[in-house]
Amino acid sequence: MIGLTGVSRTFTSRSGTTVALQGIDLHIAEGEFVAVVGRSGCGKSTLLRLIAGLLPVTEGVITIGGERVTGARRDVAMLFQRPALLPWRSVLDNVLLPVEIFGWDTSQHRQRAHQLLETAGLGGFEKHRPHELSGGMQQRVALCRSLMGEPRVLLMDEPFSALDALTRAELAVELQRIHRENAATVVFVTHAIDEAVLLADRVVVLSPRPGRIREVVGIDIPRPRTPGRTAHLAEVARFSADLHELLMEPSGSAPVRTDGR
């Protein structure tokens, strides 16, 4: 589904040149949920923007469904740290915003908007304004909005980082359910190791700048996964500990993988 081959990104300014990402080779299967972790400044958000076509690559090639990414695409949606809802619009109208932007028939998409809100536990809040919702509810509205166009790829840049721990855990469980029902390919950037283990099929660990793939860890824990006391609590703890150790290793002390599989 998503292929990155020899991808690098360099930023140039008056103060000099910064290599954000270098030599990224990564292949993500259709319907897979991949989390990306790494220290601050390692290029995680840059990686998402490259996949989304919001930034051009300096070197290498990115493809989605076999087609080269050269700009923003309608079948790719991106969810940011902040929900960025329009305060003067109702919940339903915020979810329907992409329909207006792309000129789709509103009457044909209104039912899907209602279904998404029901799926996200927001049934009955269609007429509310964003300021009447909690932070977690606002982020659910933003998630519903991103799913309106039935994207093949959903890119998520630390979407739960501004929320309290309990709300983050609740949304992590909710996101697993929504992912199963919508079957989009997800790339999820997070600083939270436990969150990555709960959500992902694989976790990509980036090295400090320039960001390169240090390791790709497969998370073979049955779903659904929860942060509470479950039969798989020991496995979740083990994977979390392994990822913490990888991230704590000094730069250059561990081999960097190049296959990204």
pLDDT in tens, 40-76: 889 999 999 999 999 999 999 999 999 999 998 888 9
Predicted pLDDT of residue 231: 57
Q: How many CA atoms lie within 13 A of 194 on its CB side?
A: 14
Distance in angstroms (rounded) separating the CA atoms of residues 227 and 7: 34
**How many degrees, rounded to 5, is the angle at CA 180 between CA 176 and CA 185?**
90
Distance in angstroms (rounded) separating the CA atoms of residues 114 and 109: 9
Distance in angstroms (rounded) separating the CA atoms of residues 126 and 132: 11
Q: In what order do the strands lie in the sheet with 153-157?
A: 76-79, 153-157, 185-189, 33-37, 202-206, 213-218
Q: Once rounded to an integer, what is the mean pLDDT over residues 146-151? A: 87
CATH of domain 31-54+71-248: 3.40.50.300
Instruction: From 127, 156, 130, select the one nearest 143 (Cα to Cα).
Output: 156
DSSP state of 144: H
Predicted pLDDT of residue 229: 62
Higher pLDDT, 230 or 103: 103
Q: Are the beta carbons of 33 and 201 closer than 8 angstroms?
A: yes
pTM: 0.87
Distance in angstroms (rounded) separating the CA atoms of residues 27 and 254: 21
Provide φ and ψ at 44, rounded to 5°: -60, -50
Q: How many CA atoms lie within 13 A of 100 on its CB side?
A: 8
Q: Once rounded to an integer, what is the mean pLDDT over residues 83-93? A: 94
Percent of the chain with pLDDT over 70: 94
**Torsional sign, CA 44, 46, 50, 54:** positive
| Residue in the structure block whose two tokens are 């040149």 | 17
| Residue in the structure block whose two tokens are 């009955």 | 124
Other C-beta atoms closer than 10 Å to the C-beta of 32 total: 17
Q: Collect all residues with Cβ–Cβ distance below 8 Å to 85 and sequence separation of at least 6.
A: 94, 130, 138, 141, 142
Amino acid occupying residue 116: L
Distance in angstroms (rounded) separating the CA atoms of residues 8 and 258: 13
Provide φ and ψ at 113, rounded to 5°: -60, -45
Whole-Å CA distances, 184 to 168, 173, 176: 21, 16, 11
Predicted pLDDT of residue 126: 95
Provide φ and ψ at 81, rounded to 5°: -60, -40
154-193 tens-digit pLDDT: 999 998 887 888 888 888 888 888 888 878 899 999 988 9
